[in-house]
Each structure stands twice: as structure tokens, then as C-alpha cells.
Amino acid sequence: MSRTFESGGAKVTKLTPHARINRGTDFHADWLDSIRVNMSAVERRTGTVTGRRTVKKDWQVAWMLKAISCIDLTTLSGDDTPGRVRRLCAKARRPVRRDLLQAIGAENMGLTTGAICVYHTMVPTAVAALEGSGIPVAAVSTGFPAGLAPMETRLQEIRASVAAGAREIDIVITRAHVLNQDWAALYDEVRSFREASGAAHLKTILATGQLGSLNHVARASMVCMMAGADFIKTSTGMEGVNANLPVSLVMIRMIRDFHERTGQEIGFKPAGGISKAKLAVAYLILIKEELGNKWLSPDLFRFGASSLLGDLERQIEYHATGRYSAAHRHSMG
């Protein structure tokens, strides 16, 4: 039986080119002065997301399909090969087995992941493998993951990835600027990355697990958006502490504040440690409640993940068949 998968804004739509580029604002130090994070309030708010009963049955499947459409399917290993990247791109084009989509009546929805994320050297391979799909290639850049390469080297890496066909650039900030509360230096750095990225989307990785406090996370988020970030992203996925709901709530609230001040819609990308379908749905619910349905789109929300897709597909198979499959039954995710 055919079903329409829509749940309060969770209707899945195929990614379309993102026309909006955040040109940023001047540096406003006074915007930072009033930022204060109440840790207890943050924990109470995020506790309501995971503590309540979750959505079930067809509604749950709708949210899981939405989650798949927002994944930046990622491989960032030292042993990456062109063959591995091509397999990942094939999975991005068809993230869920055709028989499962047919079983739930979703075979004609044109489901893909939001993007493929790779190192610069793999950008040409990914671009070629995704030709005609509309799926963008994101390149990690600026000395990822530490971000401690010379400035000119970092800028050259951005320009090279854009020239190779990357439509999105995931940069890492200099954490010392945040730890020293040198907000003007952070602004100037991200502004330079914005200019080097040209028409490509700039996703700024804060590495929140290394910033010391949620107040630092909040202020760094605001500064990056002032400087022209199209997305703010929690983590490289390689820190000791990566994405979590409290950090995400703080960043989401800064996105809302920036939007109220400027009218600019900035995207959010949690990355690292999100490997289960239930947690992915919790993130989507948080986005819906805090920012609204418009942000439930790969234009404005992404998961940085490599293993999440496998669990989402496994849960969809359970919904279609009533049985859980072994993880190895699902192709590379």
C-alpha cells in the first residue's frame, strides 16, 4: 500500500541547489556582551526531547527518511581510496534498498543523502561519481581536523577544493581564538575563509568539545555567522567530545538570534557520535521545535555521519518486514 511520508513538516524533498549565501555582517562586539548560557536550563530543555515518548510507526518512518535526506555521508580516513569513495557515492544516490522503499510505498520519492563529505584529494573522484545526481560534494579544509596549518595554506586548500568541484567547504576554526576570547581575530579568520570559498557554501566547524564552555560555544557561533558562515557545525568527529544535544541547543538558539537580528537563515550540522536512528529523530524534533519546519531541509540542516545511515536503513527494514536484520545485510553506509 502506498503511503505519504509526512509528519508535521517532516515531508522529504529532494535536495535543490542552495541559492542563499551568507555575506555576513560587520563585527558587532556588543552582540556578544549579552550572551549568557544557563547550563541547568539547557539540560532541562534537552532532557524533554529524549525523555518524552517518541513518534511511532509510519510517522517514525517519515522522520527517518527525512534524516537520511539530511546526511552528509562521510569518509575521512587515512586509508580512503577512490574505490571506497565511489562506493560511498553510489550509496548516496540510493541510500535505501529499492525493495524496502517499495514495501513502504516510497520508491518514487527520489531519496538521496544531503551530500558526500571527503578530503580534498578525493573531491574529483566524488564529483565524477555524483555527476547528474544533484548531490553536492563537501570538502573538509583548512588543515582539518586541527586547523593549525599556515593561513595561506588553508586558503589555498579552500580555493583548490572549489576549483575541483566542491560545492561546500567544511572549515575548522582556530580554537585558540575562542579560548583567548579574541573574537575579532576569529571574525577576521572566518571572513577570509568566506571570501576564499566564493559561491561554495561555508560550514564552520567549532570543535565544541575543545572550547571550554557553552558560553564560548555560543559566542563563537555568533561570530562565525557574522563573518559569513552558511552553516555552523559542532565537531570534526575526531574530538573526545563531539555532538550532543546541550551543545546543539546552544548553537540552534544562536542561529535563531542571528536570524532575528539579520533575517539570514543559517544552517546547523551536528557531527560525530550520532549513529542511532532514535537519536537522529530527536535532533530533528529539536530543530522543528526551536527553528521551525523550514529548517527541516538539507538546505539548512545536516548530520555529519558515516554509520548513521546503516541504522536508519535497518530500522526501516524492521518497519517493512517486522524483523531486524544484521548490520552486514546493508551495504556501505
Q: Side-chain half-sphere of 138: how many Cα atoms within 13 Å? A: 31
Q: Name residue, grid cell 579560548.
A: 179
Count, residues in the chain: 333
The answer to whether 30 is a known catalytic residue is: no
The answer to whether 203 is a known catalytic residue is: no
Q: Name residue, grid cell 560545492.
A: 167
Minimal CA–CA distance to 206: which of 187, 245, 178, 246? 178
Q: Name residue, grid cell 513518534.
A: 55
Catalytic residue of the set 269, 288, 299, 311: 269
The answer to whether 66 is a known catalytic residue is: no
Query: How far is Cα 274 from Cα 214, in angstroms, rounded to an integer?
Result: 20
Query: How far is Cα 138 from Cα 59, in angstroms, rounded to an integer?
Result: 30
Catalytic residue of the set 91, 233, 299, 311: 233
Catalytic residue of the set 72, 170, 230, 311: 170
Query: For residue 199, what is its C-alpha cell?
Result: 559561491
DSSP E strand boundaries for the chain: 71-74, 115-118, 137-140, 168-172, 201-205, 231-233, 267-269, 303-305
What is the number of other CB atoms lying within 10 angstroms of the CB of residue 27? Answer: 16
Active site positions, annotated: 170, 233, 269
